[in-house]
Structure 1
Amino acid sequence: MANRFVQYVRGDQNLPGERRLVQKLDFFILTFCCLMYFLNYLDRTNLNNAYVSGMKEDLDFRGNQLNQINTVFTVGYTIGQVPCNIALYYIKPRYFFPACMVAWAGLTMATAASQKPGDIMAIRFFQAIFEASTFVGTHYILGSWYTEKELGKRSGIFTASGLAGTMIGGFIQTGIHKSMNGRHGLAGWRWLFIIDGIITLPVAVYGFMLFPDTPRNTRAPYLSEEEKALAMSRVPEVSERTPISLRFLKHCFSTWYWYFFVVLWIIAGETESFSTNALMALYMKSHPTNRYTVSQLNNYPTGVPAVGIVSTLFWATLTDFWGGKRYLVGYWIGITGVITAAVILAYRDDTAVVFAMYYWAGSVYACQATFFAWANDVLRYEEDSLRAVVIASMNMGSNAINAWWSIVFYGASYAPYFTRGMWAMIAVSIAMAIWTALLVWMHVRTEKRRAMQGSAAAAEKELDFMDSRQGKGSVSAAVDRKSV
């Protein structure tokens, strides 16, 4: 076990059977989680696609009602974060994830029957609660199975699957609008929600049957007993503490991990505002002179998540290769946010320049994979319950701020230029770079303290060993003298 732990720390991949184990984990964990997140984002972002594809006119949307619906969704999503991750501590993921998927699939299909914006608002609130398990829950699971050298790429692939849902959603809406608009008396945007819900159900069944849970409680039929033991040996042994207790809460809020990572993701979440609030689509929809077709409104913005996918995979792979330097993405975000917002402010009437800046801003999506991998890395030697709560709290804090941030700075009534939002982006991008530097300092300080404690513990064990040897020598000498 000691040799395996040393190999884990070094990130070696030469343990007997380890490559085959990782391949199995990649197939069964990543396929399910990526499909789940793809469908999650498809359901979530297709509201914007439906809005520009006839839903606005059919349901008589006015003012900032779209933003209000998104805010209600954010409130429900925020409420669900920590409870969902705590539920994973008590309920096996292969039961919990599929159950949530079935619930949100049903609510997605119910959206097709909406008759006014208020109907969608109520549906989206409950849909958000069930969808809250997907993102933070998967990052908790990934951190439970994968080593530090493996985690970044897997987190990147998972995050990219959600962006693929954003990107493909526009093309799906275009196809549905062309082929099914008016069929059986239903508008194309209504068919979009029906189809989204239907295709979610088979993935839920797949997860229920084959998802491996966590190394400590897995009963996956495709893992041998030796592979289960190997999976346990690949991650550090940590103390266990129930997450529902006053003692745990005191412990959680007495650590720097919770505060620093929650604030990190609050800031990072707002640096994604150009993309998450679909500013490019709203810019096109509300442009004072340019007019775009439904296909153009759905297809042109797909370049934003496409850039996000490339950026996510690039930075996730690079930070793994460079030994987990996830903080580099924080500096990249700071540079990107300041430049793109400033250029849009300066050249807002030049459509080509504005398009280019929105596409570049899509690279900020890289922070989703790298920052949650960073949290998993730093909390690897802490108990699982703390890691689960910190990861969930990160997303909870971000969404709590975003619930009002998007209305204040990126309301649909501010389209097409979003001047207030551009200045807000410059401010949070500068804050991103500063906070990243502070978190790096805290992490380095903690690692030095842990190394000193490890050295002291090793020295104490060595002294105990020497004392025991000396004690045995004295006893032997006394016995020899007595026999003489």
Structure 2
Amino acid sequence: MSDKVEAHVLGHETETPNSESTEDLSRERANRNIGSARPFLSWFDPNDGPAERRLILKLDFFILSYAFIGFWVRNLDRDNRTQILYIDRGILANAYISGMREDLKLFGNELVRLNSLFTAGYCISMIPATLLVTRYPANYVVPTAMFLWGIFTLLLYRTPSYSYLAGFRFLVGLLEGPFFCSVHYVLGSWYRGDELVRRAGIFYVSSSVGTMTTGLLAGRIYQSLDGANGIAGWRWMYIIAAIMTFPVAVWGFFSFPGSPRHGKRWFFTEAEVELAKERMELEGRLHGKALDLKWATVKRFLGKWHFWILVPWNIMWLLGYQSLNQGAYTLWLKAQKQYSIVQVNNYTAISPSLGIIWILLFSWTVGRCGKNAVVPLIGSVAIVGVISRFAFVMFDHTSFGYKWFAVAVSYMEVSLSPVNYSLANIACAADSQERAFIISAMLATGTAFNTWVPLLAFPTVQAPRYFGGYVTEVVLQFAYAAWTVIVIWFVKRESRVKEAAST
């Protein structure tokens, strides 16, 4: 606990306090009595004081506004890969079905290869990017990367060939690497465990909004701008996505706070920074020195259960919805001759629209009910995932409506992202270096698998059937749900050990 907090706890006063010490003595202390009977829709804990609530609202506005809008434009700019993530369509998928395939003669497996190249760049930069964010303020690192990926997205509108497209998609992926891990690291640097999952959920809603907007925007662009100034509609998609990225990057320089160890930003008072640090001290989430990747440090990380349990868990989750990542459902819609290109682009918004509901419901449930809700929740989602996959596993024997059901619920498993990464943030709370490493390793390792597994499971020439790919996903749904039981057992065991040590 800081000297300022200690002085307040002891109630020391001087006869002639200066303005700074007066502020210290009057500063509200952090909530030490987190309520267990918190209403489901309550935004604050009942025991949070006025100053703490003001701090939380500032954090919500400045962190979540940039994280939300940034992830939204990221899902506009990116191809149809998700890292972790996440979405089944983006500009590349919509451009592909809107004339790119014919213009660039992409009649083979070029789409899945483009996905893998993007993902390769993405996973390469994740861990180095997290290292940068622990050393330098995130409000410099992340917006700079965003501005650069906007430039390369803009350049993509001039794509003359597959090789040009492949090279620039790799660079866009490389520059998007810092964003997701850095945001989760920053969330875990400011919010308590009872606040974290909900904020992560709101952050992740932007992936659904971005995906939904991409489909609707792509349809409108193709309808209104195809051929304008001699430019094809799919090229206009890249121009508009890039233009929307630049102001968001600039906003990040002013709004994104980084972590408490990087000091006060213009929108915090000194008292609020001290209160924020006290909140994290009470959580056992301390901010040590910047992350380095010396062998001794990595060996320390590998000596704990977090890496060996959380990383495989995340790999199973990511690979469990490759069909979404590969735009498989978009290609099925494209194969339905009764739908025009504009209709297909518009229909791709249905799944992420429902995803907004799933994300908020899942994150609020875990935020309110805690770790006990995780296994039932993920088990239920896995059951729905298996049922929906059989609509395509048994492609020739299932109805058109059943397949549409699978398309509609396809965002459900993706919506568990806030749960996965918030659990990692909480599990590694006591070691900020390990927390940064584990979050980035979960994403980087899972994404590395996503560079090559889809080449085998979802080759574009097999669209829209993908029998082997959907069977693989069915197996992974069961594996992910079963591994969740192991994850929660380890998390609860560690909690018991910490409680016993503190008594």
> TM-score, normalised on structure 2?
0.86
SS at match of 2:33: helix
Unaligned runs of 5+ in 2: 10-28, 37-44, 79-89
Residue aligning to 1:383: 431
Determine whether 1:247 maps to 2:247.
no
Q: Give me the whole-angstrom Cα distance separating, in 2, the residues matched to 1:24 and 1:197.
A: 29
**Of 95, 113, 129, which aligns to 1:50?**
95
Q: Give me the whole-angstrom Cα distance separating, in 1, the residues matched to 2:227 and 2:472.
A: 42
Shift of 1:241: 4.8
Q: 1:115 to 1:384 in 2, by over 3 A?
A: same
8 Å CA contact 1:8, 1:147 repeated in 2: no
Report the AA paired with residue 449 of structure 2. I
Cα deviation, 1:161-206, whole Å, max 9, x if unaligned, reads: 0121111101111111111111111101111101111111111111
**Of 370, 389, 411, which aligns to 1:341?**
389
Determine whether 1:280 maps to 2:329.
yes
Residue aligning to 1:229: 274
Shift of 1:320: 0.6
Residue aligning to 1:27: 61
Shift of 1:343: 3.5
**Of 39, 60, 63, which aligns to 2:108?**
63
Q: Within 5 Å, which residues of 2 pair with 1:290-329?
A: 290-324=337-371, 325-329=373-377
Q: Give me the whole-angstrom Cα distance separating, in 2, the residues matched to 1:311 and 1:15.
A: 31
Q: 1:221 to 1:343 in 2, by over 3 A?
A: same
Q: Give me the whole-angstrom Cα distance separating, in 1, the residues matched to 2:366 and 2:239.
A: 40
Residue aligning to 1:266: 315
SS at match of 1:111: helix
Shift of 1:448: 1.6
Residue aligning to 2:49: 15
**Of 39, 48, 70, which aligns to 1:36?**
70
Cα deviation, 1:55-97, whole Å, max 9, x if unaligned, reads: 1001110211010000000111110111111110111111111
Q: Give me the whole-angstrom Cα distance separating, in 2, the residues matched to 1:156 and 1:259.
A: 25
Most deviating of 123-132 and 334-343: 334-343
Q: Within 5 Å, which residues of 2 pair with 1:33-432?
A: 33-44=67-78, 45-236=90-281, 237=284, 238=286, 240-244=288-292, 245-287=294-336, 290-324=337-371, 325-346=373-394, 348=396, 349-380=398-429, 382-432=430-480
Shift of 1:330: 2.5
Q: Give me the whole-angstrom Cα distance separating, in 2, the residues matched to 1:347 and 1:353.
A: 10
Report the AA paired with residue 40 of structure 1. R
Q: Give me the whole-angstrom Cα distance separating, in 1, the residues matched to 2:245 and 2:185.
A: 22
Report the AA paired with residue 331 of structure 2. L
Residue aligning to 1:472: none
Shift of 1:345: 2.6
Most deviating of 152-161 and 337-346: 337-346
Instruction: Judging by fraction of residues, say which structure has more helix.
Output: 1
8 Å CA contact 1:242, 1:248 repeated in 2: no
Q: Give me the whole-angstrom Cα distance separating, in 2, the residues matched to 1:77 and 1:63.
A: 24
8 Å CA contact 1:241, 1:248 repeated in 2: no
Shift of 1:141: 0.6
Report the AA paired with residue 314 of structure 2. W
8 Å CA contact 1:329, 1:367 repeated in 2: no
Q: Give me the whole-angstrom Cα distance separating, in 2, the residues matched to 1:106 and 1:373.
A: 32
Q: 1:13 to 1:214 in 2, by over 3 A?
A: farther
8 Å CA contact 1:49, 1:170 repeated in 2: yes
Q: Give me the whole-angstrom Cα distance separating, in 1, the residues matched to 2:203 and 2:402.
A: 31
Q: 1:158 to 1:320 in 2, by over 3 A?
A: same
Q: 1:204 to 1:134 in 2, by over 3 A?
A: same
8 Å CA contact 1:329, 1:370 repeated in 2: no
8 Å CA contact 2:458, 2:466 repeated in 1: yes
> TM-score, normalised on structure 1?
0.90
Report the AA paired with residue 86 of structure 1. L
Q: Give me the whole-angstrom Cα distance separating, in 2, the residues matched to 1:370 and 1:430.
A: 18
SS at match of 2:48: coil
Q: State the identity as a percent.
A: 28
Shift of 1:16: 4.2
8 Å CA contact 2:223, 2:342 repeated in 1: no
Cα deviation, 1:24-52, whole Å, max 9, x if unaligned, reads: 11111100111110000111111100000
Q: Give me the whole-angstrom Cα distance separating, in 1, the residues matched to 2:232 and 2:172.
A: 22
Q: Give me the whole-angstrom Cα distance separating, in 2, the residues matched to 1:266 and 1:319.
A: 21
8 Å CA contact 1:34, 1:161 repeated in 2: yes
Q: Give me the whole-angstrom Cα distance separating, in 2, the residues matched to 1:388 and 1:239.
A: 11
Report the AA paired with residue 461 of structure 2. S
Q: Give me the whole-angstrom Cα distance separating, in 1, the residues matched to 2:350 and 2:451.
A: 25
